[in-house]
Amino acid sequence: MVQHYQLYDITYDVWVFSLNGKQYKIKMSGNRAANDGDLVRRWCVAGKGVAVKSCLDMSADLLSGKVVSLMPEFKHPQTELWLVFPNRQSITPATRLLRDMLGVKTKGVLNQLIEKGVLDNRVLT
């Protein structure tokens, strides 16, 4: 069973992967969609199907073995992690410390996933 993420009535049902420089776009069908990324994660952990999710979002489950990557040789496009502020005046020294701390923690989690063999070390470049 396939789990889909849905946002503003748009169901993200086209999954994009690459292998050896060739890109594959696959339109998936499934009977579950949610606008709650954690709900999709919980469905996967409960064995209710598969989904394309961020390795950071799934890191604890991947590291504990609750879930596995089904096609580790196929790569999903990387995306950025953003901190969004209402205006430049909101970017204070404290928010810069938060940004830096999140960067360190994120890199630490990615390193754990690399050590376990879930990710290729190229994600850090």
Q: Write down the pLDDT at residue 3.
A: 65
- Structural domain count, the chain: 1
The CATH code of the domain that includes 103 is: 3.40.190
The secondary structure of residue 2, as a DSSP letter, is B
- Tens of pLDDT, residues 4-34: 667 777 778 888 989 998 999 988 888 788 8
Q: What whole-number distance in Å separates Cα of residue 24 and Cα of residue 111? A: 27
- Tens of pLDDT, residues 76-120: 888 888 889 899 888 999 999 999 999 999 999 999 999 998 888
- Tell whether pTM > 0.85: no
In which domain, by residue range, is 97 found? 3-124
Q: Between the CA of residue 122 and those of 31, 80, 105, 115, 116, what are the distances in Å?
A: 34, 15, 18, 12, 14
